Chain A
Amino acid sequence: DVKVTQSSRYLVKRTGEKVFLECVQDMDHENMFWYRQDPGLGLRLIYFSYDVKMKEKGDIPEGYSVSREKKERFSLILESASTNQTSMYLCASSPPPGRRNTEAFFGQGTRLTVV
């Protein structure tokens, strides 16, 4: 069974802390994504990566950075957490670019609360 695993289901962090959200996939997918999900706003893309050490900004990259040192792992970093970053964060992976007919696979989500 294919898997995308996020390291934490729930996190509580303090304002100003540096926060790491980790995601690992076992499908040898080139593409990996970080989305943020908020009520009424749906899913918004923060960053994606199409290869090791490669990254592209999504729709809402401000306040976030990412790291992809290995193909299977994609990390989202909140440099200095703020309360407006309280949200559900979803990681996903998918096969190579150009294969538009192939679905993405999602992790179970990390609900982050910044206090």
Chain B
Amino acid sequence: AQSVAQPEDQVNVAEGNPLTVKCTYSVSGNPYLFWYVQYPNRGLQFLLKYITGDNLVKGSYGFEAEFNKSQTSFHLKKPSALVSDSALYFCAVPNNAGNMLTFGGGTRLMVKP
């Protein structure tokens, strides 16, 4: 079965510093990987996805993610964190049929001024 794991429950970073939110995957075949963000009391919003091609994927709000096949990872990154980036971040992978997403447990990002 396709799965993703987020090893950190929370990541703390100072405003202006680079941030990384980690995700590792276990899939059969070519991976399709997604990142979503959830702001307080809101639904999930799509950030970016990896389908194929460049290992560095750019998404919304200045975020990017690096696909690493040898390490089976898809870490979310941003060069300079903002306080407004504080939110819950989810990595996700679709099943083989493509009709549902399986999510990681989520990582809470706290950006302090």
Contacts and interface: CB of A to CB of B under 8 A. Distances in A.
Contacts, number: 63
A90 B41 CA distance: 11
Contact of B32 (A45, A90, A101): A101
B105 A100 contact: no
Contacts of B9: 40
Nearest to B42: A108
Contact of A42 (B41, B94, B106): B106
Contacts of B42: 108-109
How many of chain B's residues touch chain A, expressed as a range?
20 to 34
A97 B97 contact: yes
A82 B34 CA distance: 33
B80 interface: no
A103 B43 contact: no
20 contacts: A4-B43, A31-B99, A35-B103, A40-B9, A40-B105, A42-B105, A43-B44, A45-B100, A45-B102, A48-B99, A58-B100, A98-B97, A98-B99, A99-B98, A100-B96, A100-B98, A101-B51, A103-B46, A105-B46, A106-B45
Given A92-B44, A101-B51, A106-B43, 12 more contacts: A4-B43, A31-B99, A40-B105, A42-B105, A45-B102, A98-B97, A100-B32, A100-B98, A105-B46, A106-B45, A109-B41, A111-B41
Interface of A: 4, 6, 9, 31, 33, 35, 40-43, 45, 48, 50, 58, 90, 92, 94, 97-101, 103-109, 111
Interface of B: 9, 32, 34, 36, 41-46, 49, 51, 90, 94, 96-106
